[in-house]
Chain A
Amino acid sequence: MRRLAWLVAALGALGCSAEVSPPLGDRDAAVPVRGGTLRMASFTDVRSLDAAVAFDEVSHALESLIYATLVTLSPTGEIEPELVESWTVDEARTRYVFRLRAGVVMQDGHPLTADDVKRSIERALSPDTPCPVASFYERILGFSDYASRRASTLRGVEVLGDHLFAVSLSEPDATLLAVLSLPIVAPVCRSAGRAFDREFSLHPCGAGPFRLERWEPGRQVNFRRFDGYFRPGLPYLDRIEWALAVPQFTQRFRFEAGEQDFLHDFTSADLWRYRASPAWRGRGEWEPAKAVHSFFMNTELPPFDDVHVRRAVAFAIDRDEIARLRPGETMTMSRLIPPAVPGHDPSPGQRFDLARAREELAKAGYAFDPSTGRGGYPKEIDYACVGDSFDQQAAEVYQQQLARIGVRIRVKTRAWSAYLAETSRRRTTPMGSDGWAMDFPDPSDFFEPILSTRAIGDEDSQNRAFWSNPAFDALLAEARRAQDFDARMRLYRRAEQLVIDEAPWVMVYTKRWFNLHHPYVGGFAVNPSRTQDVGRVWIDQATRARALGRRAELPFSRLAKGALAARWP
């Protein structure tokens, strides 16, 4: 028993000094310098580096290094030229003519032409390519013929000259330029071919500032500077090393030891301490909150086929408690459109009101008496979520909150794959965590793909609530055609109100990311549409070397190196 006490005491003593170490480097890298290697890390892994296929946050960040897009988003969310130099739109707003920048060289050495643009778009939208968001581009003329193999080319994309191409639409689409800013349709080298090939992900090639050097799935991606990048003098860095699937706690260790230059994935305790530390005051940038986290209730399954039960649940969720689990990072949300997306409305939507919740449940015939704990919905309801995620922690709190109105849920944790398959299968999962992250800055992104009738399927349903509302669908169609910004926003606000009242979803919180880097890293600015945008960052190597001093190498590594050197001179 004494030994045990000793062990506990030792563990305690070792962990106790909880202070975070100060920033490395005595001055900020204010002036751009060429050269050096940036070391990054991510908590998640990437599945693919093929721009046409991979579509999650980290792949997005990595793809923005390899590929240059046609147009891009400014920090304030406006469309800006990138590979495309300028464009014109006709009266009817159905035909766009784009002029490509001259003299752009792809990473395989070939100059970029309008043919490459057409080939890349057709490759991405080809029926043989598992592009997850091909429907973003369905208003391009001839899309359905091309997608169903009735046509061998995409009629709406025309080559007009070496550096001139046109995109024609079947009907006006306010989101066209926004979806052209996505890496999905970024020009890819000729090695990508006309059709999708899995091998391309292992040798990706575009017109971006960095080329892939080495990729070990689940561990590491390394990039090397592309010297032919079309913006002269850029990028500043020689290399980027990006470690994958690194737990938060490990990342903090690497960051403090100077093995990692950026910190993006924090445990909530660490984030708190960095924010509170005087040495780090004024450092770090928040990314805008551009996702909504929610849970769905399957409107085809009892008891959620009754709108009163759904409303009762929506009234029973206390969002403040969830936000307190990760103070600073998570903020309550009671509407569908997150703060960073146009059309966001700061006024409250769904409200926490226990009395109303019990009232609604009584209307559905499941009156609950909190003093005796009797009544309520008689059966346990399965709630699906991904294990080891923050959603799981939130679910454990929802479970307590819903018990207060007599709705008992059972948290079922799933691996990602099982969660995706089961929640998107018809009449399978009564409720579970859900959410949506912004693909492009337009409110339409938060309605059509997730809650419209079109998004319902027997398998792989994107509408996990299986909620179908004709009034809602009509509002969306009208908004999509409208060209006047304010008119569109009004329509989306009405659609949002329907979601709030009918409660297929309970919107709970939004999360924003914090970016921290050592002072020797310069030139970082938060990008509104993608996370960890480090393509134009530079490193003051002299400051880094000074700051690291002898800390860079661990004693044992030195020892081992010495021993090896002694034996094999």
Chain B
Amino acid sequence: MAVITRALRRLGLSLLVLWAVVTLAFVINHVLPGDPARLMAGPQARPADVEKLRRELGTDRPLAAQYASFTSRLVHTGPRAIAKGDKPHASCSAFAIVHVDLGVSFQHRKPVARLIGERLPATALLASMAVAFEVLLAVGLGLLAARWRRTIVDDGVMAVSLLLASVPTFLTAVVLQVVFAYRLRWLPFDGAGEGAASTLAHAVLPALTLALYGAGWAIRLVRDEVISELGKPYVRTARAKGAGQVRVLLAHAMRNVALPLVTLVGLDLGALLGGAIVTERIFRWPGVGSLAIDAVVTRDGPVIMGTVIVASAGIVAANLAVDGLVGLIDPRTRRAAA
């Protein structure tokens, strides 16, 4: 029972956080300078045309009215027409009876929910690939360093991990592009490609860019955790019973390292689901991150708010999931909490 109350409380808090983020996003978006109508009309447009567009977009209404219509659209159930001439459910995404409406993009002239929905698979692919690379790197190098701790191998791995965590992603991205795409021509330079094979090939370099940065932290985590596990009595017992070095590392130590690693990687995944702005932009990856930065540049308000909300939702969901997962895997936390 206590577990359920706790879970509900946690969920409620998360929703509160999301609401605060939504409001913050709205406020920030509306203090941004610049005028979307002016931009849409184009640099050589005439004044009356711009004014007309402004009325059409509704950016001339008072702030409070815009906020009210934005929030009342955001999540609802029944058919709803907010402004005159609105078709009910014109820009909704329905999840059973719950409808999410993030408005309509100025630039793309599509419902923001649909727009983000179209970009989400690409971002999800990139995020999961990045996380997969990150785990591989972390476990591989982390175990290597732990197995030969306090040797040159350990020093080398630690130096590499520190280096990885210190290189800005834009530098990694450029180096990878020049080496693997421009010089060696092994991988595509940027873009997304068409078809499964080509899409996968296009995802490798951006995923690697993100993974290398994340691995900088994860390698260290795995190494430290494995070393501390190796010092514990049960490992010593196992070893005394004649278990080999590799078996001890993989079967015993790794099992306990899984927990912190899941936490770290889960949070990374949540953050990446909101789109990796710099990396997606450099690689022209058609994900939520590049959508977000385009929206900031073109002052596409509904898209800015939409991407902010989705990105925050990703982080909040990841937090919840990690909490839940850790609670499930590790009986100790459950008992301690209850």
Assuming the contacts A216-B286, A253-B181, asked whether A420 and B186 have C-beta atoms less than 8 A apart, the reply is no
Chosen A-B contacts, 9 in total, with CB atoms closer than 8 Å, are: A3-B163, A14-B178, A217-B107, A219-B286, A250-B284, A422-B34, A557-B197, A560-B196, A564-B197
From A133, A218, A254, A457, name the one whose CB has the most chain B CB atoms within 10 angstroms: A218
In contact, A555 and B185 (Cβ under 8 angstroms): yes
Q: Does B47 contact A (CB under 8 A)?
A: yes
Q: Does B108 contact A (CB under 8 A)?
A: yes
Interfacial chain B residues near A128, Cβ < 8 Å: 52
Count B-side interface residues using an 8 Å CB cutoff: 53
Binds A, one of B8-16, B130-138, B258-266, B293-301: B293-301
Interfacial chain A residues near B52, Cβ < 8 Å: 127-128, 130
Assuming the contacts A202-B109, A216-B286, A556-B201, asked whether A253 and B182 have C-beta atoms less than 8 A apart, the reply is yes
In contact, B42 and A460 (Cβ under 8 angstroms): no
Interfacial chain A residues near B296, Cβ < 8 Å: 415
**Which residue of B39, B42, B189 contacts A54 across the interface (Cβ within 8 Å)?**
B42
Q: A14-B183, A132-B41 are in contact. List 18 more A-B contacts (CB 8 A).
A: A11-B175, A11-B178, A14-B179, A15-B178, A127-B52, A130-B41, A130-B49, A130-B53, A131-B49, A132-B46, A217-B107, A253-B182, A417-B36, A420-B34, A421-B34, A449-B44, A554-B201, A555-B185
Interfacial chain B residues near A254, Cβ < 8 Å: 189
In contact, B190 and A250 (Cβ under 8 angstroms): yes
**Which residue of B46, B187, B190 contacts A460 across the interface (Cβ within 8 Å)?**
B46
Interfacial chain A residues near B53, Cβ < 8 Å: 130
Interfacial chain A residues near B185, Cβ < 8 Å: 257, 551, 554-555
Alpha-carbon distance between A555 and B181 when the two chains are bound, in angstroms = 10
In contact, A555 and B107 (Cβ under 8 angstroms): no
Q: Does B204 contact A (CB under 8 A)?
A: yes
Q: Does B233 contact A (CB under 8 A)?
A: no
In contact, A459 and B107 (Cβ under 8 angstroms): no
Q: Which residues of chain B from 139 to 165 have a CB within 8 Å of any chain A CB?
A: 159, 163
Assuming the contacts A55-B42, A459-B50, A561-B197, asked whether A417 and B299 have C-beta atoms less than 8 A apart, the reply is yes
Count A-side interface residues using an 8 Å CB cutoff: 58
Q: Does B35 contact A (CB under 8 A)?
A: yes
Alpha-carbon distance between A462 and B189 when the two chains are bound, in angstroms = 40
Closest residue of A by beta carbon distance from B40: A47
Contact pattern, A 47-58, Cβ under 8 Å of B = 1, otherwise 0: 100000011100
Closest residue of B by beta carbon distance from A134: B46
In contact, B46 and A133 (Cβ under 8 angstroms): yes
In contact, A421 and B38 (Cβ under 8 angstroms): yes
Assuming the contacts A554-B186, A564-B197, asked whether A460 and B47 have C-beta atoms less than 8 A apart, the reply is yes
Q: Does B43 contact A (CB under 8 A)?
A: yes
In contact, B284 and A460 (Cβ under 8 angstroms): no
Q: Does B242 contact A (CB under 8 A)?
A: no
Q: Does B330 contact A (CB under 8 A)?
A: no
Question: What is the distance, in angstroms, from B297's C-beta to the closest C-beta of chain A?
Answer: 5
In contact, B51 and A459 (Cβ under 8 angstroms): yes
Q: Does B235 contact A (CB under 8 A)?
A: no
Question: What is the distance, in angstroms, from B213's C-beta to the closest C-beta of chain A?
Answer: 16
In contact, B298 and A417 (Cβ under 8 angstroms): yes
Interfacial chain A residues near B204, Cβ < 8 Å: 556
Assuming the contacts A202-B109, A415-B34, A555-B185, asked whether A420 and B159 have C-beta atoms less than 8 A apart, the reply is no
Interfacial chain A residues near B175, Cβ < 8 Å: 11
Question: What is the distance, in angstroms, from A47's C-beta to the closest C-beta of chain B?
Answer: 6
